[in-house]
Structure 1
Amino acid sequence: MTQHTLTGLALACLACLACINAHAQGVATDAQLAPVTVNGTASKTGLPAAVPGTTASKTAEQLREQNLFNPEDALNYAPGTTVRKRYLGDRNALLAGRSFGTLQPSRALVYLDGYLISNFLGRFDAPRWNMISPEAIARVDLLYGPFSALFPGNSIGTTVAVSQRVPQGFELSGRLIASSQKFKQYGRSERFDAGQFSLHVANRFDGGLWLSADLNHQDATSQPMQYQTVVANAAGNFPAAAGTATTVTGIVYDTDPKGLKRAVFGANSGAIDHTVQDTLNLRGGLMLTPTLEASAMVSWWRNDTETRNDSWLRDAAGNTVWSGVVTDGTNHFSIPPSGFAPYTRLETHQQLGATLKTKRGPGWNGSLVVSDYRLLKDANRQANNPAPVATNGGAGSLTLRDGTGWDTAEVQASYTPTAGDWGGGRHSLALGLHRNGYRLENAVNAAADWRNDTGSQTQFYGGKTEVTAVYVQDAWRLTDDWLLTLGWREERFKAFAGRQLGGGVTVNYDGRTLTGSSPKAALAWAATDRLLLKASLGRGVRFPNVEELYNGTVTATSQTLSDPTLKAETGDAFELSAEQDWDRQRLRVSLYWDDVRDAILRQSTTDAAVCKTTATGASSYTCVQNVDRVKTNGIELAWQAQDLALKGLALEASAAYTFKSEVTANSRDPAMVGKWWLRVPRTRAAVQASYRPAAQWLFAAGWRHQGRAYNDTYNLDVNPNVYGGVSKVNQLDVRGAYKFSRQLELALGINNLTDQQAYQSHPYPGRTLFAELRFQR
């Protein structure tokens, strides 16, 4: 499609809106034709009514049947979903889905009330879950696959829509929650605690005005996230260490994920994270006229992080050894000063959003939504030396990302027919114009005193990206039992202002423009009153983010190599599903196929040859590259039952089996061909059961399973159930609650009841106890 055509479509969208009152539901309009349903009508969700593809959902009432500490916990038992949440309060809780792992987080979209909170700035920038107060969640909905034209190309994997409570009157509620885990690893045991307070107050006034305020405060400390290690070669020999060695005790030996002998010296690189976070979310809405509604949101999030490390090494006098050449009498090792260096981080984020929409029932409606997310302050201070030297100051670095952020704007028109309208009342139309822009500035300053010195800039990388899109989607009810949904999305990507500074040399990158076309089609047939069959076909185009294009960071121990010439990854997806309803249960079976070309892969390795760099000397390398083709297919089952064997008993279960997820072509690295795609497990499963014997009692249990997955490009990690691997997960969670009155409820719970060890490179938490007191007026 030419630029003139793109502009013409955009003007057509605006012309449609000029003929009607402006209306906004953001990217997910709720004014489309209701889909073919079985056993009743579709429930109100945060997704479009005529959404093609498979969905899943959780309501606030259902979420109270599990141990929910952070908002992302709402997805713990979602079909075909992995949440890489390493500890309570983790700011990098990444999402993975059917055909993508947590190394491809930009294949997931997350919205809060229609406002984008997905962070497509960097690899470890997860969705900004912090902007959500758990107490304010009304429901969470998921859409699998790039089957709707209403969503950007990042919907190539999974789309999550979080809806917050809108008051119908005066509301006051809150909760206090405390947790504690006893974490055991490498023969050591330590207790780590966390706590949280949430408050929700809202009111709807006469005249249509409503206001809501949510406050969330949490204080949490993680278990150790990573360890200082040295790995031997295939012959079992460790690298030579020159210099006079200090004889120490405390070195632990194990086997790393690739089956090589490994020496472990303690928890390092800011392994134990103490984080204090505060979120304030203010929302409001007003019916300007009987058919025109405006709403707005402003949110702030602040994080104050302080980390510490734990060296296990002791000299002959019992003193802790943090760096230098050490020996246990058998092997010699060199530990760099930065190995056990701590860091601190202070962050303040702000999100602004405004929505205008008409609510006129059938006929034409329109919507306008704008949002802006900004990192007002992001200062990461890293010491060059370990404790106790770093406690008293000394050299280090300061990384600043102030001003980084993104903004979005969307204008959309939708048409919902009535009998006798255009198309015989069988067509429902949505069309719109979308734009988002991302800006990243990452500056590294050398600081004489890492605790408070501003220093002078030694490294920098940054740039901007912009996506403009037009789309149209028509849901056409062919007959009472058949619904055909057709859509098209045309996107234009622009990358510009890319720049790197390193080694005293500044490199400016030329701007680039890419385009992507995404056709969509879905056909649903209500074969009987209780059986729905659906076929969905769609394409998603995921453009590279700023960090993937321009990051060139070098530290004392690591090197990052991005690629400013990256292509967009294009995914073609196909799904066949069947949903059968009975009086008290529902079963869905889905078969899915994903074919991704030019898949964007970011990988970390200790082998410089993997990243094809001659700049050796670092202990780890990270690089980004396109992989020619990756194919994934599998089957997924989801089952729900209510009062099936016992009144008050609710059951949910899902299971997925991946037949294949492998690289089928890669001219840049042929050795990858035939290898399993990273961090996509062969099996996933979840089971939830809740029982309410009386109105005041709740007993619930949940089980989460994930099969082992690969963390190595060439699938050489044959020993996954250790630190650094991607292990199987089998965790049992339980919860019990008692309502003293309508206003007051006490809940006790345990996550990972059997204290199973699991890893997704980092270790997952051990057995964790919860106590929660909730109140509501």
Structure 2
Amino acid sequence: MNPLSAPLICRRFKPHPLMLALLWAWRGSALAQSADAQAPDALPVIEVREGASVAERRQLPQTSASVTAAAAADGINVTDSSDALKYLPSLSVRKRYIGDTQSPLATRTTGINASARSLVYADGILLSALVNNNNGNGSPRWFMVAPEEMARIDVMYGPFAAEYPGNSYGAVTEIVTRMPQQFEASAKALYSQQDFSQYGASGTYRAQEYNLALGNRDGALAWRFSANHLDSFSPPVTYVTANAAPAGVTGAVATQDRTGKPVFVLGAGNLTHTVQDSARLKLSYDFTPALTLSYTLGMWQNQANANAQTFLKNAANGAPAYGGGFSANSVDQQQWMQGLELRSKTEGVWDWQLAASTMTSSRDLTRTSAAAFPAGAGGGAGTIADAGGTGWSTLDAKGIWRPSGADGKRGAHVFSFGAHYDRYTLATPTWNTADWISGGNGALASDSRGKTETSALWAQDVWRLAPSLKATLGARYEWWRAFGGYNYSTNASGVGFPVNQPQVSQDGVSPKASLAWSVNDDWLATLSAGRALRFPTVGELYQNVLVGGVYLQANPNLKPEKVWSTELAIERALAEGQGKWRLSLFEERVSDALISQSSTLGSGVASFTQNVDKTRQRGIEAAFERNDVMTRGLSFNGSLTWVDARILANGGYVPTAAGATSVGKRTPYVPEWRATLVATYKPDDRWSYTLAGRYSARVYATVDNTDVNSHTYQGFDGYTVLDARVRYRFDRHWSAAVGVDNLTNRDYFLFHPFPQRTVFAELKYDF
């Protein structure tokens, strides 16, 4: 089936060079001749590039896509673990600069501000910060895994596995790290540089990163250690705006806000210098060949300073001038990660696993100026926000039973089951201080606290109905509660208002079903359906705070999202390992969708979350991989996704303008089109050349789609970004690479200004 043959899609489609190239390559792969592949009863998951994916190993029913460490080293300019996802189908990570700690993952049907609608794990340790559902403190802790540790990343789409909670309805990302088989060591140095120019801001912003990794195995004991250091300068992350230019000054840049109204840009904000250090140690011990204990300890710390730059000059003497809205801040953070796992690996009748993990903030201070600039940049009144008590812990027990058939061989059923517990804690008191740079805590200005916990039982049966037919049936039952909610705020006179929020609880079952049919040696069709319950995060319920000029408003009365997802995936493996392709048709219906909204208040932004009665996201995703195209060593891979995302009912909507409505409008933050295309040429074992492209249509950030002007600060542009990378291996020890992201210097916004042309140089030594 050609996805462009559908009349509705034809009416909406506007040809784009990247899309046309992708479709040409995909069409060619579909016409390739087939040959012998796996047997019909193998039921292959064809997205896997090499080795077994997490979905295959655990016999999970989701469609999956993968990238290996070798492929990432050859073809992706990687500065942290999230970069490895750049070209996987329907995915994007909101990364504003190298070292950005607020980088949520967007999936097929979820946007860049919905971090709790997907899950990110590293060796089973939860990196997703389900303390919130935003692009701030809810972002995954990508920095806890260095790229040099990774063996592969697997992404599984949709809430079709009972093993995962309802947050999986966007996608589940599993980062799999390596354990050495003998002594190994590596060292890598990376340098990058970006020349940035926008509005009245311009400059050159550099970053340098160093990594050291060691590991060994001595009989039953294996260990791996990795340390990483980053020193990075960012271009502007925000801008200071006003509805009118201040009197007596020049330099204000006239433009329009995202609704099309006149606005003036007075200066740039949050030009950030961040210095980050991280270290990770993993130990494993094989008590027997079938019983392994592993322990992981990770530490990350960050010292960051963010300053402002004015565009204004005094009309009389030309001296720098400042209006309202300028501020500076500093960040001091330290976080710890621990994971303990005991598992059997007999691959016989029984296997089991016990796992526990924690992520804690031992120090998390943000100091922000409140005094008027320019004096405020050097000290004076401000606030100190302390999120040091925020974190989470998880506990899982899992088992798998593979009963034998009457003939003593592997039977028709594989049962897996488990129990889960988690707790998330939010603590964000903010104090006034007489000196924001070095002063102590003064009077309490605001506070937000609370906890959530979830207990769950789940079971799944993989039932081989026939040699070519497999059903997967499962269910997950969850008990959730939120408690300890507390908010404190002060008015302009300093009078405090404490509020103890009510305890709330919910429970429910999420059934799952999937049917996979191996049509013949090359073709596989899978039909999946599943329900998911995505409970509100503790931050959505209780966080009431000012972060980076954005006022976050709590709502303790939110209801959980109730999701029904379906997918029909058709996959084909091409002859002699020449590639594969997949076509997925999917639909997602959400009741009580938790959607974050924001509105501009002067130069500030207010953000709040509301339950939207019903949304529906349906679409088509095509993905392909084709090797040795026209010449040996030339490969293509890519994807094309179309999504019709609509709000079907929204009884709580309050019109923002006369005649405005939200029903029938596009669901916020979900683009209609996305595409990726990657061409890699490896003429020999030494050289690798890659040219890649990423495309996304524009998105709306409001439920009524009134943000019609996308190319402005706080708007959401469509974009086409081209990247390039060349890598050379001198010998088995030394390698070097140079690369460029945003080759054509595309100037675009995703609320914030996004990186312009950035060049990379990398040198690595492997022992």
Q: Which TM-score applies when normalising by structure 1?
A: 0.88
Instruction: Work out the number of aligned pairs and report it.
Output: 706
Superposition map of 1:253-652 within 5 A: 253-268=254-269, 271-315=270-314, 316-323=316-323, 336=324, 339-420=325-406, 425-455=411-441, 456-503=443-490, 504-553=496-545, 559-583=551-575, 584-606=578-600, 619-652=604-637
Deviation for aligned residue 1:718: 1.6
CA contact (8 A) 1:215 1:279 kept: yes
Percent of paired sites with the same residue: 35
Decide which of 206, 212, 227 is 2:239's aligned counterpart: 227
Q: Secondary structure at the match of 2:617?
A: strand
Distance 1:682 1:113 in 2: 33
Match of 2:712 in 1: 722
Residues 598-652 of structure 1: per-residue CA shift (max 9 Å, x gap): 0011111126xxxxxxxxx884322111111100000000000112321111211
Q: Which among 40, 43, 53 is matched to residue 45 of structure 1?
A: 53
In structure 2, C-alpha distance between the alignment counterparts of 1:170 and 1:420, rounded to whole Å: 46
Residues 114-148 of structure 1: CA deviation (Å, up to 9, x unaligned): 01110012321200001011111110000000000
The alignment partner of 1:169 has SS state of coil
Secondary structure at the aligned position of 1:425 is classed as: coil
| CA deviation vs aligned residue, 1:570-606 (integer Å, no higher than 9, x gap) | 1100000100111112110000000011001111112
| Amino acid in structure 1 at the alignment position of 2:640 | A
Deviation at 1:187, TM superposition (A): 4.8
Quote the Cα distance in structure 2 between the aligned partners of 1:101 and 1:40. Answer: 23
Say which of 202, 226, 235 aligns to 2:215: 202
Paired AA for residue 576 in structure 1:
L
Q: Summarize the Cα distance change of 1:222–1:556 in structure 2 as closer, same or farther, 3 Å threshold.
A: closer
AA at the equivalent of 1:389: A
Normalised by the length of structure 2, the TM-score is: 0.90
Q: CA separation in 2, counterparts of 1:421 and 1:289?
A: 29
| Conserved 8 A contact 2:383-2:433 | yes
Q: Secondary structure at the match of 2:250?
A: coil
Q: Which residues of structure 1 form unaligned runs of 5+?
A: 1-33, 232-237, 324-335, 608-616
Aligned partner of 1:664: which letter? L
The change in CA–CA distance for 1:452 and 1:417 in structure 2 (over 3 A counts) is same
Shift of 1:483: 0.6
- State the AA in 1 paired with 2:231: D
Cα distance between partner residues in 2 of 1:559 and 1:312: 25
Query: Which residue identity lines up with residue 71 of structure 2 in the other structure?
Result: Q
One-letter code aligned to 2:282:
R
Aligned 8 A contact 2:47 2:64 in 1: no
State the distance in 2 between where 1:103 and 1:643 align. Answer: 39
1:99 matched residue in structure 2? 109
Aligned equivalents of 1:150 and 1:698: distance in 2? 39
* Matching residue of 1:333: none
Cα RMSD of the aligned pairs, angstroms, is: 1.9
Q: Residues 645 and 470 (structure 1 numbering): CA distance in 2 closer, same or farther, change over 3 Å?
A: same
In 2: Cα distance, 1:632 partner to 1:229 partner:
34
Amino acid at match of 1:203: N
* Amino acid across the alignment from 2:649: A
Deviation at 1:392, TM superposition (A): 3.3
User: Contact (CA 8 Å) 1:649, 1:692: kept in 2 or not?
Assistant: yes
Deviations 1:495-553 (A, max 9, x none): 01000111212111221110121100000000010000000101111100111101223
Asked if 2 retains the 8 angstrom alpha-carbon contact of 1:585 and 1:644, the reply is no
Shift of 1:289: 2.2
CA distance in 2, matches of 1:421, 1:657: 48
Q: CA deviation at 1:721?
A: 2.1
Distance (Å, rounded) in 1 between the aligned partners of 2:156 and 2:46: 21
Measured in 1, the distance between the counterparts of 2:179 and 2:497 equals 53
What secondary structure sits across from 1:632 in the alignment?
Answer: strand
Between the aligned partners of 2:574 and 2:169, the Cα distance in structure 1 is 32
- Is the counterpart of residue 770 in structure 1 residue 756 in structure 2? no
Question: 2: distance between equivalents of 1:554 and 1:279?
Answer: 28
Q: CA deviation at 1:254?
A: 1.2
CA distance in 1, matches of 2:571, 2:613: 35
Instruction: Indicate the residue corresponding to 2:11 in structure 1.
Output: none
Alpha carbons of 1:199 and 1:420: their partners in 2 closer, same or farther (altered >3 Å)?
A: farther
Q: 1:188 to 1:403 in 2, by over 3 A?
A: closer
- Specify the code of the residue in structure 1 equivalent to 2:77: N
Structure 1 residue 40: Cα displacement: 12
User: Is the Cα contact below 8 Å between 1:38 and 1:581 reproduced in 2?
Assistant: no
Shift of 1:420: 3.8
Structure 2 distance, partners of 1:378, 1:697, is 44
Matched, 1:76 2:66: no
Q: Distance in 1 between matches of 2:81 and 2:566?
A: 30
Correspondence for 2:70 = 61
- Cα separation, partners in 2 of 1:278 and 1:151, compared to 1, 3 Å: same
* Unaligned ranges ≥5, structure 2: 1-40, 491-495, 655-660
Equivalence for 1:331: none
Task: Tell whether the 8 Å contact from 2:369 to 2:377 is kept in structure 1 after alignment.
Answer: no
Partner-residue secondary structure (3-state), 1:61: helix
Q: Deviations over 1:306-363 (max 9, x none)?
A: 011100111121211123xxxxxxxxxxxx2xx1110000000001110000111221
Between 254-263 and 302-311, report the one with greater CA deviation. Answer: 254-263
